[in-house]
Structure 1
């Protein structure tokens, strides 16, 4: 997503031909995993009435952002690395920066990766709020969480995320977009030799935004799980007293809250190395090896969502199996 300094000596462990080939194979495999997994998610959510809910819309938004990473971001890295393998030299466009007249892909791909990352964390935050309301205030769920409101929030999250993604090149002349030879991705980088305080503040805006949302997401998840625990204790007492209550969250709501909690943990684990790298870069560390693993750990997060859904949601898993086993997915899930 971003890199504060342009490395002068890439020491990432891909110098031998075998390692370079393995790296390209990994990238190609990742493309297919992202495309397949998120295409299945979109097919399940958009093609099944049961999943056409506010939560389903948010999952579709998350899958779309991940799908964009597999369509635009990773293939450019594959193209660049294949060019190096075939021609033995770095493609000319990777040496250009965003201030040059000649257009190069990083002007588009850099903000695309950053914007999709922001959309992902924003969507997970919205999913957490939606599940929290369903668990804490089950009687108010349908009145508060509507498809219309969810759609508006999704549109705002996409617009806001991509506006934030282009902030570095709009508000700082010292920051450019370049193809980073360490991370093997289009990153934000300094165009000059110094490190002005304004550029420092702009670059740290990204991890600050993400960790603010991640922190809020964790807090809301804690509140939801505390409520689930209280409901479980209350239900146990009511069963012992042979009573019933109508205000408890459903099993589906509780299971969905746990699924969103798993998504939060997965995204936090994948984004934390990037945040550490950016902060280290700002204070002057290049960390070439670390940058490669940090950025690609974040990229692999784009194919984990469908695995989490399949593991946590039996209805999702059943519908996905139907789609994969039936031609054109004609069998409709009746539940």
Structure 2
């Protein structure tokens, strides 16, 4: 989402970088096929998630609301962000020239698609990070303070937090353009996506730099906190597992331990955190490399698209880790089998 100094100016001087994905016609075709498959996978997976959460009473919980919010953010990537890249790449193959707006940033044309798509991608990424953080908090309370779970975690509070996360995330996404006239958006020929870029001046001003630093600061703070909280929760789960046999052997009953479903859910959120951290790490490396003056054109493509593919991972994680979700999704996708089972 972020590009710095020399890389930005170089892009406008050389608008047609030959990256590893797009140097030959075969590579260009494979790139478009990958993008199209990513769109279908993202739409299918997250629509299934929303259908399961909305259509199953069991998932009408705080955790279910957060998963629905995460699915909506991922859907937005599949509906808005990736299709623009598909259009640009198909236009480049068919017309043998990129659309005119890809050679200019948003300050040089009256309307630039990246003015909409760029903040959507950034905002949805921030929403995803925030939602995973809230899911981690919710599960950590269920694991560490099971007696206080129902009184502290309510659907009303969760709904308010989801609303605030969306408002805050998209405010952060548009803040570079709001607070600095030097920052623009452009379709980057390396990443094949809409990125934040320097506008019409040749030196990166300190004000613009400080504003863009909000992005990695926000991301690293929330992701770091999420990882730490997950480690604490999983350590507590491990201790509960060690004592479970002792409690069973002595027939001691206690209500202060988390339920089995809470433990399973906490492990699922831990897996989500690992997946998102793994997909976001290349972007973090790319930003650091830009700060040090490295161009890394090929790496920027892989970094941004690895992050984009994260939008279709969640339903896979839910299906593998959550048996109830898996059963509900199977019933939704295989209604004929469900009817046959009922008749039998």
TM over 0.5: yes
Q: Are 1:12 and 2:19 an aligned pair?
A: yes
**Match of residue 192 from structure 2:** 184
Quote the Cα distance in structure 1 between the aligned partners of 2:18 and 2:220.
29
1:243-292 superposed Cα distances (whole Å, 9 cap, x missing partner): 22121111100000000000000000000111111222133221100000
Give me the TM-score of the superposition, normalised by structure 2. 0.93
**Match of residue 240 from structure 2:** 231
**Match of residue 282 from structure 2:** 273
8 Å Cα contact 2:101-2:109 kept in structure 1: no
Give me the TM-score of the superposition, normalised by structure 1. 0.95
Find the partner of 2:94 among 86, 92, 95: 86
Quote the Cα distance in structure 1 between the aligned partners of 2:324 and 2:249.
31
Find the partner of 1:253 among 262, 285, 298: 262
Structure 2 counterparts to residues 276-287 of structure 1, below 5 A: 276-287=285-296
1:77-130 superposed Cα distances (whole Å, 9 cap, x missing partner): 000000000111110111232223511210000000000000000000000000
Quote the Cα distance in structure 1 between the aligned partners of 2:119 and 2:113.
11
Name the SS of the counterpart of 1:161 in structure 2.
Answer: helix
- How many residue pairs are counted as aligned between the two chains? 331
Quote the Cα distance in structure 1 between the aligned partners of 2:182 and 2:282.
24
CA shift in 2, pair 1:178/1:330, >3 Å: farther
Quote the Cα distance in structure 2 between the aligned partners of 1:101 and 1:174.
15
Structure 2 stretches of 5 or more lacking a match?
none
Moved more, 157-166 or 2-11: 2-11
**Match of residue 2 from structure 1:** 2
Name the SS of the counterpart of 1:119 in structure 2.
Answer: helix
Quote the Cα distance in structure 2 between the aligned partners of 1:289 and 1:220.
34
Name the SS of the counterpart of 2:195 in structure 1.
Answer: strand
8 Å Cα contact 1:204-1:278 kept in structure 2: no
CA shift in 2, pair 1:200/1:283, >3 Å: farther
Q: Are 1:155 and 2:163 an aligned pair?
A: yes
| CA shift for structure 1 position 173 | 1.9
| CA shift for structure 1 position 330 | 9.3
Quote the Cα distance in structure 2 between the aligned partners of 1:304 and 1:105.
27
Quote the Cα distance in structure 1 between the aligned partners of 2:129 and 2:327.
27
Task: Extract structure 1 runs of 4+ deviating beyond 4 A.
Answer: none
Structure 1 stretches of 5 or more lacking a match?
none
